[in-house]
Structure 1
Amino acid sequence: MKKNLSRLLLLLFYPSFVYAEVVPDAQIRLRFESFDNMNEKYYGSKPKVGEGHDSYLMTRIRLGLNYEFNDNWSAKVSLQDARVFDWGFTRDDWYNKEFGQVHSSQSDSFELSKTYLKYENSNLAITVGRQSISYGDARVFGPGEWKNAGKWIWDATKVSLKDGEHFLDFFYGATMLHDPDQFSLNHRHGYYGGGIYGHYVYKEHAAFEPIFAYKQNRKENELYNSLESFYAGARVYDSDIYSYFFDATYISSFGDYTKLTNETVSIDGVGYHIDAGYHFKSINTKVGVGYSYATGDNPNTKENETFDSAFGASDKYYGRLNLMQWSNLKDYELFNVYKPNKKTSIKLEYHRFYADEQTQKWLSYTIASMKNDHYGDEVDIFMTHKYSKSIDLLFGVGYFISGSYIKEATTKNSYITDENAFGFVAQIKYNF
């Protein structure tokens, strides 16, 4: 298989070596993580799968070649190798019932990464192939780069219309699934879908961004027979109003899915986020408050009100321990960002988490007849430092205090325990 892959890539890109300017790039990212009383799927000291006390090393290597044919045409081909050493999970622990195969966003060895052909002029850009698609604050469309293999990568066509700082993008394609043992050149697609994203700058430091997304899975699976979701909304922000700032996003989800019983259920969800604060420029410090909301499913209605974040990244928004997603959530937040110099940023944040609907899925649990809604509280402090032009460093700790929801859940599920959770992260990234 690897020999055939090499021949295919050589056939596709041999002319590039002859007629194009070739610029190589590479990145190595090493991250050590250690968690206590939790893991990526379960909460507590005795999880059903994985370890309740786990420390491991993540490695990610990316190698790429960038081709410049002329002022308008360019291309890229790249490979990625993402592995986790001494992890408490096995490959089979990441079997996904929705797609009928393994799908792990943390581990994917020797995989074709960004590989595309691009045409661009001053007002138009067209990109065809495997690519990362991210907009705005990545809350609705984002690659999920914190995940070792990346949460979302697309085989898609994207068209971008540009006018100075303004743009309007359209794209359609399919999301790639991550299986550590199989190469994904001609299989392994998850959702089919696309989106429209605009960016209109109405004054310096401020913009309005209309958003539309479409997600579809018509393959019968172990969870449902078909899914067709639409998302519509907008983001608006201003990062400097006499030193005040705000950022707001509102998304409505609609569509339908067909249950295994062939009953069709309408989708009717809502998600929004707003944060605001003040920038003390004399001491390079921002302080602010935030609120994130996403509907859960009301069991007393026919519709499914559960909101999901479309193709968004959640790994830096709803607590850095990643115990929460933008779904069935009320998240009250306080934060402080301090930049002692141009190379260093330190963020301290506090979250208080509640469920919108108590009887809903949380992590890998679905617990019925819950009365309490307070998941718990989390405190995180993360520091990033640009050591040099090529080296970026990151260190972070998070502490989660279990709330009444988790304490009640321990009486209904023997795999859940109500100890508080702790996480530590140290990362180095080297760009060649």
Structure 2
Amino acid sequence: MKKTVFIALSLFIFSSLFAESLSPTGGVRERFESLDGMNKKAYGDDASLIGRPDDTLLVSRLKLGFIYTQTPDIIYTAIGYFASVYGWSLDHNDFKKVSGNETYWMDPQEDFDFTALNVKVKNLVNVRGLSLQLGRESNRYGDKRVLGPGSWGNSYGWLWDLAKFSYRFDDNFIDTFYGQTKDKDKNHLSLFRKHVYEGAGIYTHFKTDNKGAVEPFVIYKKGLYNGAGNGQNTQENYTYGLRAYDDDFHSFNYDLTYAKANGTIKEKNYDAYGYVAKMGYKFKSIALKPNIVFGRIYASGDDNPHDNTVKTFRTPFGGTDGSLYGRMDIMKWSNLIENVVELHLIPQKNMQLKLSYHDFSLADANDAWSYYKKYNINGNHESKLGDEYDLEYKWHYNKALEYQAIYAYFNAGAFVTKNVADNNAQRLFLQVTYNF
């Protein structure tokens, strides 16, 4: 509470001094969650698992900040957030990571930090469209599959301290960046403290028509903790590819992504790939304007985890939000085959309804269920993870206020029932968001 009061008081003082050039920004998000049969760290109903499988949560996030325009070409942004969760059976130390002699935390809850703290200089050296940005930001692009923090969780996923050059012309852009990603330790403010990964990249966007574009990219990632010992941080690799999409191509819509990764992980070579292929058709003249989408999402697995090459694809700095891989939020873009069917409906202009079916399997049964790091045991060779059914409803009451309700049910497949736990799982979200 003291941290929240401090943010609010600082914002009030600053806005009083620079009222004409300052725009306050912020929001409040309150969410009720009910989990049954799983949690963030473990799948199953067994009482011996980490945490409880049936948490009932109240998840809150307060975001406050300002945008200060010193001149039309010099803009400062500072946005802090305070996150809290009530009813969670997991502890901060459940998210402790060890890499060699380094210890850090990646707590999806966290409580106080900055999601943005940067300065942007536009029209750099008098070149129209060229800008430089320095400081903290989320560094999100496209559908957030290869670069994006994910914002469903309280702690925003990846957050960067970086330098970014951007050149924008017409509706196109070419961005280049270098920076480091912060840890998520609820007991320490991350500014000038511990960073976990180093990264650099080029992300581009070229429009093809009114609602379509192609987005080539190349992304470099390096773990900063290279000491001897256990852990997953020791790596250096590149991921390159492109995304192409169109939201309305003669009533058709498509979203295609291909990503190839090469480099090293620990002492091994890294050679993996992933793709996304989704295509739909929107019936504009029918009531509710149904949009039916079929898709396949793939991320390579490792057929031999004991050889000298890691073939398990890992998104470089992408989100794992349920909007990408099912609202149960127990999958990620790694050793995965997902066949998906979506039905998007518009009951009213300010409402969206989405029903979806997800068929999940391992890309390679010799590799792990990446989210929970579980393998086939006792000579099993199962690959079917399960079937998920999602119902999502969103109501934009007005420009500032939004309501959302989500229900997800996971019918466990043979890999889960024979190797992890013999139960299905479900999840319910009720959320209200107010932004200003």
- DSSP 3-state at the match of 2:111: strand
Distance 1:333 1:22, change over 3 A: same
Kindly indicate whether residue 384 of structure 2 is the aligned counterpart of residue 378 of structure 1. no
- Aligned pairs (5 A) from 1:194-209: 194-209=200-215
Q: Does 1:222 align with 2:226?
A: no
Aligned to 2:188: 182
Structure 1 segments, 4+ long, off by >6 Å, are: 13-16
Change (3 A) 1:406 1:16: same
Q: Which residue of 2 aligns with 1:95?
A: 96
**1:293-312 deviation line (CA, Å, top 9, x unaligned):** 00111217421001011111
Deviations 1:205-232 (A, max 9, x none): 2211101111101412522573102100
1:274 is aligned to 277
Contact 2:97 2:106 in 1 (8 A): yes
Looking at structure 2, the residues matched to 174 and 23 of structure 1 have their Cα atoms a distance apart, in angstroms, of 28
CA contact (8 A) 1:19 1:69 kept: no
Distance 1:16 1:395, change over 3 A: same
Query: One-letter code of the match for 1:226?
Result: T
1:419 matches 2:393:
no
Q: How does 1:278-293 map to 2 (within 5 A)?
A: 278-282=281-285, 283=287, 284-293=289-298
- 2:142 is aligned with 1:136: yes
Q: Secondary structure in 1 aligned to 2:121?
A: strand
TM norm structure 1: 0.91
Q: Distance in 2 between matches of 1:224 and 1:43?
A: 21
Partner of residue 298, structure 1: 303
Once the two structures are TM-superposed, the CA of residue 18 in structure 1 deviates from its matched residue by 5.3
RMSD across aligned C-alpha pairs, in angstroms?
2.2
Residue 367 of structure 1 aligns with an amino acid whose one-letter code is Y
C-alpha distance in structure 2 between counterparts of 1:81 and 1:189, whole Å: 20
Alpha-carbon separation, structure 1, partners of 2:308 and 2:51: 36
Q: Confirm or deny: 8 A CA contact 1:384 1:392 kept in the other structure.
A: yes
Range 92-101 or range 82-91, more displaced: 92-101
Q: Distance in 1 between matches of 2:373 and 2:272?
A: 20
In structure 2, what is the equivalent of residue 312 of structure 1? 318
**1:399-410 matched pairs, under 5 angstroms:** 399-409=409-419
Q: 8 Å contact 1:33–1:426 — kept in the other structure? A: yes
Counterpart of 2:167 in structure 1 is 161
Q: Give 1:14 deviation, angstroms.
A: 7.2
**Residue 247 (structure 1) aligns with:** 255
Contact 1:57-1:84 at 8 Å conserved across structures: yes
Query: CA-to-partner distance for each residue in 1:67-117, whole Å, 9 max, x for gaps?
Result: 011110110112111111110101111112346222112x22222331100
SS of alignment partner, residue 366 of structure 1? coil
- Corresponding residue for residue 391 of structure 1: 401
For 1:318 and 1:390, how far apart are their aligned partners in 2?
27
Matched residue, 1:35: 35
Q: Per-residue CA shift, 1:32-65, capped at 9, x if unaligned?
A: 1111011112111126211111111111011101
In the TM superposition, what is the alpha-carbon distance from 1:15 to its structure 2 partner? 12
| 8 Å contact from structure 1 (residues 22, 65) kept in 2 | yes
Matches of 1:286 and 1:421 in 2, distance apart?
A: 28
The equivalent of 2:241 in structure 1 is 233
Question: With structure 2 as the length reference, what TM-score do the two structures score?
Answer: 0.90
State the partner residue of 1:261. none
Q: How far 1:203 sits from its partner (Å)?
A: 2.3
Cα gap change, 1:194 to 1:370, in 2 (>3 Å) = farther
Query: 1:117 maps to which residue?
Result: 119
CA distance 1:244–1:50, shift in 2 (3 Å): same
Q: Following TM superposition, by how much is the alpha carbon of 1:390 offset from its aligned partner in structure 2, in angstroms? A: 1.6
Number of aligned residue pairs: 414
What amino acid is aligned across from residue 97 of structure 1 in structure 2? Answer: V
CA contact (8 A) 2:417 2:423 kept: no
* Structure 1 pair 312–389 and aligned structure 2 pair: CA distance change class (3 A): same
Please report how far the alpha carbon of residue 202 of structure 1 lies from its aligned counterpart in structure 2 after TM superposition.
2.2
List alignment gaps of at least 5 residues for structure 1.
259-263, 410-415
- Distance, in Å, in 2 between the alignment partners of 1:242 and 1:390 is 32
CA distance in 2, matches of 1:28, 1:321: 23
Cα distance, 1:202–1:402 mapped onto 2, change above 3 Å: same
Give the deviation of 1:19 after TM superposition.
9.6
- Relative to structure 1, is the Cα distance of residues 214 and 16 closer, same or farther in structure 2, using a 3 angstrom cutoff? farther
CA shift, 1:366, in A, is 3.2
* Residues 321-345 of structure 1: CA deviation (Å, up to 9, x unaligned): 0111100000000000001222100
What is the percentage of aligned positions where both structures have the same residue?
32
Per the alignment, residue 76 of structure 1 pairs with 77
- More displaced, 51-60 or 293-302? 293-302
What CA distance in whole angstroms lies between the structure 2 residues aligned with 1:200 and 1:360? 37
SS at match of 1:239: strand
